[in-house]
């Protein structure tokens, strides 16, 4: 069967056809933009919510899951300690969620578990799945990521939710697209990108494909920092002031192998600098946190820091990797309920997904080089819904070199990128969310095609 050239071009159009349904009644407590996003997500069937902290991803994912649950069982997968908050939020909206730890406990309706327990389930039995804080997938090893992508490959309805997708990390966007079944990561890279150099992570958008890439991304993901990005009124979604205090302490102990204290340059040297200044940094944190009776979140990265801080700060409790899941959830619940004044923990344990806007004071007793880890930890308290000015103290050693400057540089880059992303995506996303239209990306050829003489003659 022959085809015309116009028909050939139409076949080049990149289309991701919605696989969802028209949703029914939604909770009246949802804001207008949240309702429209949920309606869009239901119609899409497979979608991603890239929304800033405090915009209500939890009620949106619950409302979406509640709609899908009329068609079969749904599994929400969340970071540790976040599940109990999700269930409590569900109670406010009249949506029941059941905590499950293994396959035998799964019930009709909405089930919820954490990422660490996924291997206990037959993932093929679920009609729908929600990945809460889906950006943490890159923190897991390849086997876990593959388990999630492959395990839910045939799941009909999928929702991925995160506040901080690394939108300049095209591999991560590819993982989201592959999880949702929109396009494989390999296909995405081949379609929109060219490879720079020998490093597998160095990809850049093809010049002529940039606008098409953002249109394609908007067909399955919504990215907003505030409701007005989609043309809605911001209302009460205004962030309070964030005040950052930087403290650089003197280390009384030289780093191993050096006669004199020198600023660290390599990663190994920075680690040694952190170890050599542990006593001084802990003392500074204790001085600050013990100066008032307010609740505090104390972030650290080393076990030795965690133990020393817990012993030095009045009313502090430690949440560490050595503790059971049950202990971690109980301790965090006591902090949320105001029964515990201070929690000492690591961003890798409690830095993702938790809503801790009841607390407005935190301290970082040292920093890693991960900006996302720092950003997520800050946003546990500094989020929409926070009523007070947030005080964040960063305590480092003078020997740690450029680690703080590195975080500031990444922060500036991330803010610039986020602004560019909104400029690229807001008008497209607003049209999609408001209009609920079918999403296609047109193929517009820029060069006239020349046919060989023998083909023209035919």
Q: CATH number of the domain at 390, please.
A: 3.40.50.300
Closest CA to 293 of 270, 314, 310: 314
Cβ burial of 334 (10 Å; 0-12, 13-18, 19+) is: middle
- Asked if residue 131 and residue 67 are part of one domain, the reply reads yes
User: Tokens for 45?
Assistant: 């069937």
**Exposed/middle/buried for residue 419 (C-beta within 10 Å: 0-12, 13-18, 19+):** exposed
**Look-up: residue for tokens 């907003």?**
224
Give whole-number Cα distances, 285 to 319, 346, 376, 398, in Å. 17, 15, 20, 15
Alpha-carbon span 23 to 42, nearest angstrom: 6
Would residue 220 count as lying in a domain? yes
Residue 450 lies in a domain: no
Residues 232 and 246 in one domain: no
60 CB neighbour count, 10 Å cutoff: 24
151 and 269 fall within a common domain? no
Please check whether residue 345 lies inside any domain of the structure. Answer: yes
| 182 and 118 co-located in one domain | yes
227 and 246 fall within a common domain: no
Distance CA 296, CA 155 (A): 41
CB 394 within 8 A of CB 424: no
- Residue 56 tokens read as 């209500």
Find out whether 18 and 43 touch, Cβ atoms under 8 Å: yes
From CA 356, how far away is CA 342, in angstroms rounded? 12
210 within 8 A of 170, measured Cβ to Cβ? no
Residue 168: predicted pLDDT: 53
Judge if 216 and 278 occupy the same domain.
no
In a domain? residue 335:
yes
Please indicate, yes or no, whether residues 155 and 277 belong to a single structural domain of this protein: no
Distance between CA 415 and CA 437 in Å, rounded? 30
Note every long-range contact of 122-127, with CB atoms under 8 Å and residues 24 or more positions apart, other chains counting. 123/75, 123/151, 123/152, 123/155, 124/151, 124/154, 124/155, 125/73, 126/72, 126/73, 126/74, 126/75, 126/152, 126/155, 127/68, 127/69, 127/71, 127/72, 127/73, 127/74, 127/155, 127/156, 127/157
User: Total structural domains in the chain?
Assistant: 2
Indicate whether 386 and 436 sit together in one domain: no
43 and 20 together in one domain: yes
Per-residue pLDDT, 157: 97
CA dihedral angle for residue 343, residue 349, residue 350, residue 354, rounded to 10 degrees: -150
The 8-class DSSP code of residue 327 comes to H
455: in domain: no
pLDDT at residue 267, rounded to an integer:
60
What residues make up the domain containing 107? 5-236+418-441
| Angle, vertex CA 337, rays to CA 335 and CA 341, nearest 5 | 40
Domain shared by 272 and 207, yes or no: no
Which run of H or of E encompasses 161?
A: strand 157-162
DSSP secondary-structure letter at 25?
-
- Each residue's pLDDT expressed in tens, for the chain with a length of 458 residues: 555 545 544 444 555 667 899 999 999 999 999 999 999 999 999 999 988 888 999 999 999 999 999 999 999 999 888 888 999 999 999 999 999 999 999 999 999 999 889 999 999 999 999 999 887 766 555 777 888 999 999 999 999 998 866 555 677 788 889 999 998 888 888 888 887 665 555 677 787 777 788 888 888 988 888 899 888 999 888 899 999 999 989 876 554 554 444 455 556 666 777 788 899 999 999 999 999 999 999 999 999 999 999 999 999 999 999 999 889 989 999 999 999 999 999 998 988 888 899 999 999 997 877 787 888 899 999 998 899 999 999 998 887 766 777 777 877 777 776 676 677 767 767 777 776 544 444 555 666 666 666 666 55
Helix boundaries (H) for 152-247: 170-180, 185-192, 210-220
Nearest C-alpha neighbor of 423 from the set 209, 172, 223: 223
Is the domain of 141 the same as that of 210? yes
258 and 393 housed in the same domain: yes
Residue 457, domain member (yes or no):
no
Joined together, the tokens standing for residue 184 give: 């494989």
Tell me, yes or no, whether 408 lies in a domain.
no
121 close to 73: Cβ distance less than 8 angstroms = no
- The span from the CA of 361 to the CA of 244, in Å, is 10
Q: Report yes or no on 195 lying in a domain.
A: yes
E strands along 9-45, which residues?
14-15
Residue 440's pLDDT is what? 47
Residues 6+ apart with CB under 8 A from 394: 244, 245, 246, 247, 363, 364, 367, 404
């Amino acid at each position: 069967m022959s085809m015309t050239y116009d028909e050939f071009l139409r076949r080049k159009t990149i289309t991701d056809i919605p696989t969802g349904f028209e949703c029914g009644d939604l909770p009246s407590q949802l804001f207008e933009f949240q309702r429209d996003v949920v309606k869009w997500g239901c119609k899409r069937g497979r979608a991603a919510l890239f929304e800033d902290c405090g915009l209500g991803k939890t009620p949106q994912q619950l409302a979406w899951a509640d709609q899908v649950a009329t068609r079969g069982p749904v599994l929400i997968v969340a970071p540790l300690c976040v599940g109990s908050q999700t269930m409590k939020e569900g109670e406010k909206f009249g949506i029941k969620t059941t905590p499950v730890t293994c396959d035998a406990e799964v019930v009709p309706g909405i089930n919820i578990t954490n990422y660490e327990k996924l291997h206990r389930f037959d993932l093929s039995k679920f009609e729908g799945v929600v990945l809460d804080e889906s950006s943490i997938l890159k923190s897991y090893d390849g086997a876990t990521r593959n388990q999630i992508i492959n395990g839910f490959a045939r799941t009909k309805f999928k929702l991925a939710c995160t506040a901080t997708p690394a939108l300049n990390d095209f591999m991560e966007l590819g993982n989201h697209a592959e999880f949702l079944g929109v396009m494989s990561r390999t296909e995405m890279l081949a379609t929109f990108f060219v490879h720079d150099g020998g490093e597998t992570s160095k990809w850049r958008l093809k010049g002529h494909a940039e606008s098409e890439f953002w249109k394609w991304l908007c067909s399955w993901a919504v990215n907003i920092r505030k409701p007005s990005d989609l043309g809605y009124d911001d209302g009460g979604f205004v962030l309070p002031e964030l005040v950052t205090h930087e403290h650089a302490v003197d280390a009384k102990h030289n780093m191993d192998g050096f006669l004199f204290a020198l600023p660290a340059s390599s990663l190994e040297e920075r680690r040694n600098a952190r170890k050599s200044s542990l006593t001084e940094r802990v003392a500074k944190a204790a001085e600050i946190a013990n100066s008032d009776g307010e609740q505090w979140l104390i972030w650290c990265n080393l076990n030795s820091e965690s133990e020393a801080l817990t012993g030095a700060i009045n009313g502090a409790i430690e949440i560490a990797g050595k503790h059971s899941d049950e202990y971690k959830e109980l301790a965090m619940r006591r902090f949320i309920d105001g029964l515990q004044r201070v929690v000492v923990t690591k961003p890798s344990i409690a830095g993702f997904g938790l809503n801790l806007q009841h607390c407005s004071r935190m301290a970082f007793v040292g920093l890693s080089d991960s900006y996302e880890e720092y950003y997520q930890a800050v946003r546990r308290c500094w989020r929409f819904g926070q009523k007070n000015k947030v005080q964040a103290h960063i305590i480092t050693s003078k020997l740690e070199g450029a680690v703080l400057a590195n975080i500031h540089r990444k922060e500036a880059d991330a803010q610039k990128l986020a602004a560019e992303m909104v400029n690229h995506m807001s008008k497209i996303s607003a049209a999609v969310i408001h209009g609920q239209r079918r999403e296609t990306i047109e193929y517009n050829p820029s060069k006239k095609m020349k046919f060989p003489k023998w083909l023209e003659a035919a």
